[in-house]
Amino acid sequence: MRARHRKIQPNEVAFRSLGYILLFLFGMACVVPFYLIIVSSFASETALVRDGFRLIPTDWSLDAYRFVFTNPDRIQRAYANTIFVTVTGTCLSLLMTTLTGYVLSRRDFTWRNVFSFFFFFTTLFSGGLTPWYIMCTKVLHLKNTYGALILPMMFSVWNMIIAKNYMQGIPYEISESAKIDGAGELTIFFRLYLPIAKPLLATLGLFAALAYWNDWYNSMLFNTKEEYQSLQYFLQDMLSSIQALKQLVAQGNSELAKGVTLPTSGMKMAMTCVVTGPIIFLYPLVQRYFVKGLTIGAVKG
Amino acid sequence: MFGQSKAIGQRSLRRQLYSNRTYLVLLIPAVVYVLIFCYIPMGGIVIAFKNYNYAAGILNSPWVGLKNFRFLAISNKLWTLTRNTLAYNLVFISLGMFLEVTFAVIINEMRCKWFKKTFQSFMFLPFFISWVVATAVIQSMLDYDNGFISRLVQSLGGNMVNIYTNAAPWPYLLVFFRMWKGVGYGSIIYLSAISGIDQGMYEAAEIDGANSWQKVFRITIPNLMPTMIIMLLLSLGQVFRGDFGMFYQMIGNNGVLLETGDILDLYVYRAMSSNTNLGMSAAAGLYQSVLCFATILLANFIVKKVQPDYTLF
């Protein structure tokens, strides 16, 4: 009660307002570019060229989207690839990461420190990109397969350590009593630990989904054939060359032959929206678990 | 007697294997994965000492000793690349940690719920996009002809540089966009650490008449130290490895920008994708790995001397 009635001191006011100002500025710096991209995708090309990117475009138009979807084959294919890879990859990687983290968090597992170090060492030292690339292409033959998009990101030692730390925080006695009732390790994992570890699943699931959805790197390294490329790689292609944009529209489109200029700036923004859109919707779903799910701790013990 | 104890040892090993059988089976997928994607490629390091060609494979390519490394050193690039990689990472790490802790504290102290929630979500947005999309963001803001900021500067009578033909502003741009993309996520790690601090400490401090500044500097920051040191150690372990995604998308193969924005990882990739120089690419990669390994061992050793509780391993 006394604290509430205490007079607010000037340095307290400074503390509060500084906080509001800084958070406001940083937040705006983060959100304004997204806003700009979205409205610019609905601006007409002449407005973009004449007046530049503006908070409120001087002239609206749906041309950019119309051109993006005139020849939707490649987009559809890339979309399908990315959705398939994201769903499969996220499920597999969640299962593998949490299962491994679970085993290494068990006190009654005799060699948990040995195996923890076995995994952890790979984050300290690595062979580098080149031997890894040769492994993927010459031994595993991943070139131009879906495997090239799924396998390289399926298991992350960092996420496994987060999972292990989280599960160490779950009272051990829960599983003891379940064991007395005759539950096996798998039952304990799936029926007891996973339901308790919802914040962890949400956090790691988001990490994995983002990694798969946003992946262009593996497409660039391995998949030279268009039919196996991911959405982000497709976007990179579009953003980096007007030629690629033209090709996207040109096939079987007579308007271009008639000398219609392509809304290149607007199309780039429209493509960006089309590519980013779906993944942003994950945020509200997992947001409330986030602070709880991220427990970073030491590797030892 | 010796033989007897060995027999007991064997029997108990078998018993241990048996009692741990479920755990061991459950570990198989991850162990196989790490062997294939991490440990076996470590053996592939030998190609740094070979004149690798695809047809002959790793085993049959001829040995060339240290020729690849000597080449790297002579080309004079190695020093610039190493310096760039290290300097960028040190700025990213220190500035990043400063901003992340600052914003975690700000968000934690904020009373106005809707403001806090809205702006925290805003801060988190850039974490969701790829560096490919980030380049579109940069274009909409900084494009010389019609970017939002370029136009704003011009309308105020200023002169904007064309960022795609001028290397000078890139160190600042890279730092800015790295912070822009990472601080929102990083602050959540510290927020989650703050939520674990015993509230009783704050109550006691309040009774003693501490103000908000004092509470932050005397309670919150000292309690965040373990997390800060672990995050520091983790990032120091990668200090000679640049953020390939960011540098490739923002600098890429633009020769002008490479002047200030070239890092070891870009070099390794260029040498590898040109396919003529796999040995040199592997040599540069090995050089990176060894430097990182030495750094993390040293850093962990120093922490162990000063404050043994805070070590990573």
- HEC profile of B108-165: HHCCCHHHHHHHHHHHHHHHHCCHHHHHHHHHHHHCCCCCHHHHHHHHCCCCCCCCCC
* Partners of residue B191 in chain A, C-beta under 8 Å: 291
Do the Cβ atoms of A99 and B26 come closer than 8 Å?
A: yes
Q: Does one domain contain both A221 and A280?
A: yes
Task: Name the B residues in 183-242 with CB < 8 Å from any A CB.
Answer: 183-184, 188-189, 191-193, 195, 206, 211-213, 227, 230-231, 237
CATH of the domain at B145: 1.10.3720.10
Answer whether residue B93 shows pLDDT above 80. yes
Mean pLDDT of chain A: 84
The pLDDT > 70 percentage for chain B reads 96
Q: State which residues form the domain around A41.
A: 2-61
Half-sphere exposure of A156 (CA within 13 A, CB side): 17
pLDDT at A291 (0 to 100) = 67
Given pLDDT bands bounded at 50, 70 and 90, which one contains residue A217?
very high
Number of domains in chain A: 2
Q: Does one domain contain both B38 and B176?
A: no
Q: Does one domain contain both A126 and A237?
A: yes
**How would you write A191-236 as a 3-class SS string?**
HHHHHHCHHHHHHHHHHHHHHHHCCCHHHHHHCCCHHHCCHHHHHH
Question: For residue B311, how many other CB atoms are within 10 A of its CB?
Answer: 20
Answering whether pTM is above 0.80, one says: yes
Q: Does one domain contain both B268 and B125?
A: yes
* Partners of residue B126 in chain A, C-beta under 8 Å: 30
Q: Does one domain contain both A38 and A77?
A: no
* Partners of residue A37 in chain B, C-beta under 8 Å: 136-137, 140
- Distance between CA atoms of residues B127 and A109, nearest Å: 37
Is residue B113, in this structure, part of any structural domain at all?
Answer: yes
Kindly tell me the number of DSSP H helices and DSSP E strands found in chain A. Answer: 20, 0
Q: For residue range A53-68, what is the model confidence (pLDDT) as tens digits?
A: 888 888 888 888 888 8
Q: Does one domain contain both B169 and B288?
A: yes
Is residue B103, in this structure, part of any structural domain at all?
Answer: yes
Of A32, A61, A90, which closes a domain?
A61
Q: State which residues form the domain around B268.
A: 70-310
Q: Does one domain contain both B100 and B219?
A: yes
Q: Does one domain contain both A21 and A84?
A: no
Is residue B63, in this structure, part of any structural domain at all?
Answer: no
Q: Answer whether B141 sits within 8 Å of A33, measured CB to CB.
A: yes
* Partners of residue A119 in chain B, C-beta under 8 Å: 30, 34
Of A19, A40, A61, which closes a domain?
A61
Q: Answer whether A275 sits within 8 Å of B133, measured CB to CB.
A: yes
Q: Does one domain contain both B168 and B253?
A: yes
Q: Does one domain contain both B123 and B242?
A: yes
A49 touches chain B (CB under 8 A): yes
Q: Does one domain contain both B74 and B204?
A: yes
Q: How far is A63 from chain B (nearest CA, A)?
A: 18
Q: Does one domain contain both B32 and B122?
A: no
Residue keyed to tokens 């700025």: B91
Q: Does one domain contain both A52 and A134?
A: no
Identify the three-state secondary structure at position B50: strand
Q: For residue range B36-49, what is the model confidence (pLDDT) as tens digits?
A: 999 999 988 888 88
Q: Does one domain contain both A151 and A123?
A: yes
Query: Closest to A232 (Cβ–Cβ): which among B130, B146, B286?
Result: B130
Q: Answer whether B26 sits within 8 Å of A235, measured CB to CB.
A: no
Q: Does one domain contain both B162 and B39?
A: no
Q: For residue range A224-245, what is the model confidence (pLDDT) as tens digits?
A: 888 899 999 998 888 887 666 6
Task: Name the A residues in 76-105 with CB < 8 Å from any B CB.
Answer: 96, 99-100, 102-103
Q: Does one domain contain both B82 and B205?
A: yes
A123 touches chain B (CB under 8 A): yes
pLDDT at B9 (0 to 100) = 66
Q: Does one domain contain both A32 and A150?
A: no
Is residue B223, in this structure, part of any structural domain at all?
Answer: yes
Task: Name the A residues in 235-264 with CB < 8 Å from any B CB.
Answer: 235-236, 239-240
Of A18, A46, A61, which closes a domain?
A61
Given pLDDT bands bounded at 50, 70 and 90, which one contains residue B17?
confident
Q: Does one domain contain both A24 and A91?
A: no
Kindly tell me the number of DSSP H helices and DSSP E strands found in chain B. Answer: 17, 0
Number of domains in chain B: 2
Q: Does one domain contain both B98 and B211?
A: yes
Residue keyed to tokens 């679970």: A102
Q: How far is A207 from chain B (nearest CA, A)?
A: 9
Given pLDDT bands bounded at 50, 70 and 90, which one contains residue A75?
confident
